[in-house]
Structure 1
Amino acid sequence: MKKHLVKVVSILLGLLLLACVLGYWGYQSIIGYGQTPLVLTEPKELTIARGTSVNQLAQQLETDGIIQSKWKLKLLLRLQPELAKIRTGLYEITPSQSIADLFKDLSEGKVKIFSLTLVEGKTINEWEQQLASAPHLVLSKEIFAAVLMEQGDDSALPEGKFFPETYHYTAESDAKVLLTQSYKMMEQELAKAWAERNPNLPLKSPYEMLTLASIVEKETGQASERGLIAGVFINRLNLGMKLQTDPTVIYGMGERFNGNITRKDLVEETPFNTYRIFGLPPTPIAAPSKASLEAVSKPAEVSYLYFVSRNDGTHVFSTTLEEHNRAVDIYQRKKK
């Protein structure tokens, strides 16, 4: 009887050991499954809608061919329940991710971050087109003017008042949030430039500084020339000369500008034709960069009154009209 009992106990212990071995193997197998790469050849967006359960997500991933064993995934989430606490949002999944990596991101809410660069020298119209094509960004009509109103500016003149920079947002963000940040950044940078400006600049207000900075921005092909170009315009304003700058003419032409400025365009009377008007145009003509604001705030102290393009992004600067005409002959009329 005793021998029989020993035999039974030995068998039970053997079965228990086998069960432990199999259980450990199964546990390691499921945990190892979590390190299996997602079945992807390129990045893909994944949307977790409000109310989505992990079972529904598992089914979706299997249906889309992103994972191959839904039942293993369910076991993995039972063994690691912290991974099952998925959060809503739009995510980007990549071929380099494992299944565990994916669910770790989902549980931590690491949603996809989008970038939008509002480039200096662009107009509000150009930025509106860019915003309209930005992915997963909520855009309302007349959004720039709406932001002005919300910030207490009832001028309905948004040109130049938004700071060019790279902004970040998540899916279905309201563009107003981004543009409000841009507006406040421009206010800060303009206030700083105005406070630190050289004394005796022929500018009556920060808005005039903003307007001149936008012209400098459009005239600048080389960053190193910003101060020189600003210096030329400041000198002309001090002397009561017309600015005579093509970018203002182009802005005044609006959509009818086809890439060329004719003699007729230069004599047309518009508020922005600085070949006809004295002083600054009524509004900025584009979004100036911080560098252009600084250039106008502290322009180069030069005697130059003219500049002409070398057609390579740089300019020839001149003090006298005779020097300027000679440079125009060489670089624009191709005379020697």
Structure 2
Amino acid sequence: MWRHIASNAFTFLIVGLFLVAGVVAWGTRQYSAAGPLEAAICFEVPGGGTMSRVTADLVDQGAISSAFIFEVGADYTEKSGLLKQGRFRVPEAASMEEIVDIITRGGRNTCGAEVIYRVGINRTIVDVRELDPATNEFVELAGFVVSDEEPPAAYQEVKADGGATFRVVIAEGATSWQTMTALSQIDILQADVTEPPAEGSLAPRDYEISDGETVSSILTRMQEAQAVILDEAWDNRANGLPLETPEEALILASIIEKETSIRDERRQVASVFVNRLNRGMRLQTDPTVIYGITQGEGVLGRGLRQSELRGATPWNTYVIEGLPPTPIANPGQAAIEAALNPDTTDYIFFVADGTGGHAFATNLEDHNSNVAVWRQIEAERANDG
């Protein structure tokens, strides 16, 4: 009899194991299968939110079919404790597995309102926009220039909402003074800096910022980023460059940055300056003269005078030999890499060609011809204007 009971118990155990395995397999398929969302949504994970609360919100919004499977799946993949505060786009038919990944991977918000402060050479433009989750495209809400005037209502509403993402984009070629001043004028930041960082030490790129953050903390992030860029570019530099230190490379990169905004042209411009340095020729570049006049504070706003081209300043490369003592702006990564890996050319001259780019020459005769063409273009534009 006991043998019969043991046999039945073993049978029940086997059946039970098969049932459990079947349930697990079914749950796994449900966890990774397409979800019930018929249209994408913008889902918010609040600060201090728990997986249970988030799960309930997802059920309420019709994003998941089973709270139990969702939480078990998050636990099994060890992501329950990795919730990230923010607003995230959940696409239509997203599986529970995909949703768990979306709300735990971190990074920039992928949904909701976004305010972008674009710091340029002359002004700061603010773009206010909101992502439409259905189309995954941004809808522009407002755009304005930072000034003493009251910002538009849409900007005030987005700020008051408390869930917006804020970013600042620093233009390549902006000086440290321009950058510090522009950041200090952004109303969500605490202006705690009065002296600009060293010229050239800031990486012009895109930074996420937060309401109440200090200007000094953002400048520190920019300096850290620029140091990484410069170190890597220096380690990968070409052989035989007339540059003895990373600091000299940064100076040259800043001149390249101010001479051309065309990415594909930077290495050509770099080759001109490298060739001049190797030949002992003066660099003779106008942006260095302008920096000697403005010290990087503001924009000259007019053409250079002959007296200024002849005037002695530490940055006037029509007068001094070699590189100026400091950078003349904050160069971007492309300009730094161009300075340390220039094209191999025989060019020693260049001048604007009327298209936004430059005409290059290996000798003075050809250069003078290119200059004559440019002067004609200038004259025609003046007449048209």
Alpha-carbon shift at residue 306 of structure 1 (Å): 0.2
Counterpart of 1:302 in structure 2 is 345
Aligned to 1:172: 212
Shift of 1:140: 1.0
Give the one of 360, 370, 374 matched to 1:327.
370
Which whole-Å CA distance do the structure 2 matches of 1:306 and 1:299 have between them?
15
**Corresponding position: 1:247 with 2:287:** yes
Which residue of the partner structure matches residue 222 of structure 1? Answer: 262
- 1:279: which partner in 2? 322
Cα distance in 1 between the residues matched to 2:301 and 2:214: 34
1:288 aligns with 2:288: no
Q: Distance in 2 between matches of 1:131 and 1:179?
A: 9
In the TM superposition, 1:38-57 aligns within 5 A as none
Q: Secondary structure at the residue paired with 1:140? A: coil
> How far is 1:143 from its partner?
5.3
Q: Which residue of 267, 273, 279 corresponds with 2:310? A: 267
Q: Secondary structure at the match of 2:256?
A: helix
TM-score normalized with structure 2 length: 0.54
Residues of 2 paired with 1:221 and 1:167: CA distance?
Answer: 21
- Is the Cα contact below 8 Å between 2:193 and 2:216 reproduced in 1? no
Q: Structure 1 length as normaliser, TM-score?
A: 0.62
Root-mean-square deviation over aligned CA pairs: 2.7
Structure 1: state its 5+ residue gaps. 1-86, 97-108, 146-157
Deviation for aligned residue 1:321: 0.7
Instruction: Give the match for residue 178 of structure 2.
Output: 126
Displacement after TM superposition at 1:132 (Å): 2.0
Which of residues 260, 274, 278 is equivalent to 1:234?
A: 274
Alpha-carbon displacement from aligned partner over 1:216-251 (angstroms, at most 9, x marks no partner):
000013211100000000000000000000000111
Q: Take 1:286 and 1:189, find their aligned partners in 2: how far apart are those partners?
A: 16
Equivalent AA in structure 1 for residue 365 of structure 2: E
Contact 1:143 1:176 in 2 (8 A): no
- Report the residue type matching 1:262 in the other structure: R
Aligned to 1:163: 203
CA distance in 2, matches of 1:275, 1:307: 15
- CA shift, 1:273, in A, is 0.6
- Counterparts of 1:226 and 1:287 in 2: how far apart (Å)? 15
Q: Give the letter aligned to residue 125 of structure 1.
A: W
> After superposition, what is the alpha-carbon deviation per residue over 1:176-235, rounded to whole angstroms, capped at 9, x for unaligned?
222211111100000011111011100010000000000000001321110000000000
Using the aligned pairs only, state the percent identity. Answer: 38
Structure 2: distance between partners of 1:174 and 1:202: 39
Tell me the equivalent position of 1:26: none
How many angstroms does 1:262 deviate by? Answer: 1.1
Aligned length: 224
Report which structure shows greater RCO (CA 8 Å, sep ≥6).
Answer: 1
SS at match of 2:192: coil
